Amino acid sequence: MNPYFPSSAAKPPRYAQPVGSILDAIGWTPLVPLRRVSAGIRTPVFGKAEFMNPGGSVKDRIGPAIIDAAEAEGRLHPGGTVVEGTSGNTGVGLALAAAIRGYRCIFTIPDKMTQEKVRLLKAYGAEVIVTPSAVPPDHPDNYVMMAKRIAEETPNAILANQFYNPANPAAHYASTGPELWEQTEGRITHFISAAGTGGTLTGVGRYLKERNPQIRIVGGDPVGSIIRRYAETGVKGESTPYKVEGIGQDKIPGTLDMDVVDEWRSVDDRSAFALARRLTREEGLFVGGSTGLIAHVALQIAREVDDPQACVVFLMCDTGERYLSKVFNEEWLRENQLIDPARILVSDMIRDKDGGAPEGLISVAPETPVRRALAFVTENNVSQLPVLTGGDCVGHVSEATLMARVIEDTTVLDRSVQELMDAPLPVIDSHVDLSAVTRLLTRRNPAVLVRHDGQLGAILTRHDVLRYLTGALEGGVTDTLPGYLPHRSVRW
Ligand SMILES: Cc1ncc(COP(=O)(O)O)c(C=O)c1O
What tens digit of pLDDT does each residue of 383-424 get? 889 999 988 999 999 888 889 999 999 999 999 999 999 999
Give the DSSP H or E segment for 208.
helix 199-211
- Check if the beta carbon of residue 245 is closer than 8 Å to that of residue 184: no
User: Which residue among 59, 117, 148, 326 is the active-site one?
Assistant: 59
Domains of the chain are 22-54+169-335 (3.40.50.1100), 58-159 (3.40.50.1100), 342-489 (3.10.580.10)
**pLDDT tens figures, 77-125:** 999 999 999 878 999 999 999 999 999 999 999 898 888 889 999 999 9
The DSSP result for 46-69, as a single string, is EEEEGGGSTTSBGGGGHHHHHHHH
Supply angle C-alpha 338, 342, 348, rounded to 5.
75
Q: What span, in angstroms and rounded, lies between the C-alpha atoms of 174 and 85?
A: 24
How far is the CA of 468 from the CAs of 197, 353, 465, 478, in angstroms?
39, 8, 5, 16
CA of 189 to the centre of ligand 1 (A): 21
Instruction: Report phi then psi at 409, rounded to 5.
Output: -155, 105
* pTM of the entire predicted model: 0.75
- pLDDT, position 342: 63
Task: Using the atom order of ligand 1, give the atom closest to the CA of residue 315.
Answer: 14
Q: Determine if ligand 1 sits within 6 Å of the CB of residue 53.
A: no
CA dihedral 339, 279, 316, 16 (to 10 degrees): 150
Report pLDDT for 359.
56
Predicted confidence at residue 65, as pLDDT, reads 97
In total, the chain counts a number of residues equal to: 492
pLDDT at 340 over 80: no
Report residue 356's pLDDT band, with 50, 70 and 90 as the boundaries. Answer: very low
> Quick one: the chain helix, strand, coil %, rounded to 5?
40, 20, 40
Task: Encode burial over 427-464: b for 16+ CB neighbours within 10 A, e otherwise.
Answer: ebebeebbbebbebbeeebbbbbbbeeeebbbbbbbeb
Please give the distance, rounded to the nearest whole angstrom, from the Cα atom of residue 256 to the centre of ligand 1: 12
Q: Is 353 an annotated catalytic residue? A: no
Q: What is the mean pLDDT of residues 470-487?
A: 36
- pLDDT tens by residue, 208-248: 999 999 999 999 999 999 999 999 999 988 889 999 998 99
Comparing C-alpha atoms, which of 299, 10, 313, 317 is closest to residue 187?
A: 313
Are the C-beta atoms of 81 and 154 separated by less than 8 Å? Answer: yes
Residue 152 has pLDDT above 80, yes or no: yes
Check if 89 has its Cβ closer than 6 Å to any atom of ligand 1.
yes
SS (H, E, C) 259-325: HHCCEEEEECHHHHHHHHHHHHHHHCCCECHHHHHHHHHHHHHHHHHCCCCCCEEEEECEEHHHHCC
Ligand 1 centre to CA of 265 (Å) is 16
Q: Is 41 helix (H, G, I), strand (E, B) or coil?
A: coil
The string of pLDDT tens digits covering residues 275-317 is 999 999 999 999 999 999 999 999 999 999 999 999 999 999 9
* Cβ of 90 below 6 Å from ligand 1: no
User: Are 448 and 459 in contact, with CB atoms under 8 Å apart?
Assistant: yes
170 Cβ closer than 6 Å to some ligand 1 atom:
no
Contacts of 98 (CB under 8 A, 6+ apart): 63, 67, 82, 104, 105, 126
Higher pLDDT, 156 or 442: 156
Residues 413-469: tens digit of each pLDDT:
999 999 999 999 999 988 888 888 888 888 788 899 998 888 888 888 888 887 777
Do the beta carbons of residue 266 and residue 228 sit within 8 Å?
yes
Share of the chain above pLDDT 90, in %: 67
b/e burial code for range 98-135 (CB count within 10 A of at least 16 → b): bbebebbbbbbbbeebbebbbebbeebebebbebebeb
Q: Tell me if 462 sits within 8 A of 446, measured CB to CB.
A: yes
Does the beta carbon of 193 lie inside 6 Å of ligand 1? yes
CA 424 to chain centre: 40
pLDDT given for residue 354 in this prediction: 59
How does DSSP classify residue 478?
Answer: -
Which value, in Å, is the radius of gyration of the alpha carbons in the chain? 28
Is the confidence at residue 488, as pLDDT, over 90? no
pLDDT of residue 448: 92
